[in-house]
Amino acid sequence: MPQLIHTETGAIIAEHLELAHNPITRLKGLMFRSGLPKGHGLWIKPCNSIHSCFMKFEFDAVFLDKAFKVVHCEHAMKPWRASPLLWEAHSVVELASGTLKKHAIQTGHSLTIT
pLDDT computed for residue 78 by the predictor = 96
List average pLDDT for each run of 10 residues in the chain, which is 114 residues long: 94 96 85 88 95 93 98 97 97 97 97 96
Q: Exposure pattern of 66-86 as b/e (b: 16+ CB <10 Å)?
A: eebbbbbebeebeeeeebeeb
pLDDT computed for residue 77 by the predictor = 97
pLDDT computed for residue 33 by the predictor = 86
pTM for the complete prediction?
Answer: 0.94
Domains observed in the chain: 4-113 (2.60.120.1140)
pLDDT computed for residue 95 by the predictor = 97
pLDDT computed for residue 34 by the predictor = 85
d(CA 64, CA 56) in angstroms, rounded, equals: 24
Distances in Å between the Cα of 112 and the Cα atoms of 22, 62, 93, 104 are: 21, 12, 11, 15
pLDDT computed for residue 43 by the predictor = 96
pLDDT computed for residue 24 by the predictor = 84
* Type of residue numbered 100: L
